[in-house]
Protein backbone atom coordinates (compact mmCIF):
# COMPACT_ATOMS: atom_id res chain seq x y z
CA UNK A 1 0.00 0.00 0.00
CA UNK A 2 1.45 3.34 -1.03
CA UNK A 3 1.13 6.19 1.43
CA UNK A 4 1.10 9.75 0.18
CA UNK A 5 1.79 12.34 2.84
CA UNK A 6 -0.14 15.56 2.35
CA UNK A 7 -0.51 18.51 4.67
CA UNK A 8 -3.71 19.56 6.37
CA UNK A 9 -4.04 22.50 3.96
CA UNK A 10 -3.53 20.27 0.93
CA UNK A 11 -6.18 17.87 2.26
CA UNK A 12 -8.62 20.75 2.75
CA UNK A 13 -7.95 22.08 -0.76
CA UNK A 14 -8.27 18.60 -2.27
CA UNK A 15 -11.56 17.87 -0.53
CA UNK A 16 -12.88 21.28 -1.61
CA UNK A 17 -11.98 20.60 -5.26
CA UNK A 18 -13.68 17.21 -5.12
CA UNK A 19 -16.79 18.59 -3.41
CA UNK A 20 -17.12 21.36 -6.00
CA UNK A 21 -16.72 18.83 -8.80
CA UNK A 22 -19.47 16.67 -7.30
CA UNK A 23 -21.70 19.78 -7.35
CA UNK A 24 -20.95 20.36 -11.03
CA UNK A 25 -18.15 22.96 -10.85
CA UNK A 26 -15.57 21.02 -12.85
CA UNK A 27 -12.99 23.85 -13.01
CA UNK A 28 -13.01 25.79 -9.74
CA UNK A 29 -10.81 28.87 -9.84
CA UNK A 30 -8.05 29.51 -7.33
CA UNK A 31 -10.10 32.44 -6.02
CA UNK A 32 -13.15 30.22 -5.42
CA UNK A 33 -10.96 27.70 -3.63
CA UNK A 34 -9.34 30.40 -1.51
CA UNK A 35 -12.71 31.83 -0.44
CA UNK A 36 -14.01 28.41 0.60
CA UNK A 37 -10.84 27.11 2.29
CA UNK A 38 -9.84 30.39 3.90
CA UNK A 39 -6.32 30.28 2.47
CA UNK A 40 -4.99 33.05 0.24
CA UNK A 41 -4.77 32.49 -3.52
CA UNK A 42 -0.98 32.11 -3.48
CA UNK A 43 -1.17 29.30 -0.91
CA UNK A 44 -3.99 27.55 -2.78
CA UNK A 45 -2.00 27.69 -6.03
CA UNK A 46 1.05 26.21 -4.23
CA UNK A 47 -1.02 23.47 -2.57
CA UNK A 48 -2.59 22.47 -5.89
CA UNK A 49 0.78 22.37 -7.65
CA UNK A 50 2.19 20.24 -4.81
CA UNK A 51 -0.74 17.82 -5.14
CA UNK A 52 -0.08 17.57 -8.89
CA UNK A 53 3.63 16.92 -8.20
CA UNK A 54 2.79 14.14 -5.73
CA UNK A 55 0.49 12.48 -8.25
CA UNK A 56 -2.68 13.02 -6.24
CA UNK A 57 -4.24 15.33 -8.84
CA UNK A 58 -3.88 15.16 -12.60
CA UNK A 59 -4.11 18.39 -14.57
CA UNK A 60 -5.77 18.04 -17.95
CA UNK A 61 -6.89 20.24 -20.82
CA UNK A 62 -10.56 21.01 -21.15
CA UNK A 63 -12.55 23.45 -23.26
CA UNK A 64 -15.05 25.77 -21.61
CA UNK A 65 -18.45 26.54 -23.14
CA UNK A 66 -17.05 29.69 -24.75
CA UNK A 67 -14.28 27.72 -26.51
CA UNK A 68 -11.41 28.87 -24.29
CA UNK A 69 -9.13 26.46 -22.46
CA UNK A 70 -9.99 25.85 -18.81
CA UNK A 71 -6.99 26.79 -16.65
CA UNK A 72 -7.91 24.72 -13.59
CA UNK A 73 -9.19 21.36 -14.80
CA UNK A 74 -8.08 18.68 -12.33
CA UNK A 75 -8.98 15.06 -11.73
CA UNK A 76 -7.99 12.59 -9.06
CA UNK A 77 -5.55 9.89 -10.03
CA UNK A 78 -7.37 6.66 -10.93
CA UNK A 79 -6.69 4.79 -7.66
CA UNK A 80 -7.70 7.74 -5.51
CA UNK A 81 -10.82 8.39 -7.60
CA UNK A 82 -11.99 4.81 -7.12
CA UNK A 83 -11.35 4.99 -3.37
CA UNK A 84 -13.12 8.38 -3.19
CA UNK A 85 -16.22 7.03 -4.97
CA UNK A 86 -16.24 3.87 -2.84
CA UNK A 87 -16.29 5.98 0.32
CA UNK A 88 -19.64 7.48 -0.74
CA UNK A 89 -21.21 4.07 -1.40
CA UNK A 90 -20.88 2.89 2.19
Answer yes or no: is pLDDT of 1 > 60.
no
Tell me what the mean pLDDT of segment 15-29 comes to: 86
pTM, two decimals, is 0.75
Q: What integer pLDDT is reported at residue 21 of this predicted model?
A: 84
Residues 6+ apart with CB under 8 A from 61: 69, 70, 73
Residue, of 2 and 53, whose pLDDT is higher: 53
Rounded CA gap, 88 and 35, in Å? Answer: 25
- Spell 78-89 as b/e; 16+ CB within 10 A means b: eebeeeeeeeee
At residue 90, the pLDDT reads: 59
Non-local CB neighbours of 8 within 8 Å, separated by 6+ positions:
none
CATH of 8-89, one of 3.40.50.150, 1.10.10.10, 3.40.190.10, 1.25.40.10: 1.10.10.10
Q: To the nearest whole number, what is the mean pLDDT of the chain?
A: 82
CA gap 18, 61 in Å, rounded: 17
User: Residue 28: what pLDDT?
Assistant: 85
Residue 44 to residue 30: CA distance in whole angstroms: 6
Per-residue pLDDT of 47-57, as tens digits, reads 999 998 888 88
Q: How many CA atoms lie within 13 A of 16 on its CB side?
A: 21
Amino acid sequence: MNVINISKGQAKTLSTIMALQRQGNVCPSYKELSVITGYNVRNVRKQVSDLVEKGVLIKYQMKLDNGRNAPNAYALSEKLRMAWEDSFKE
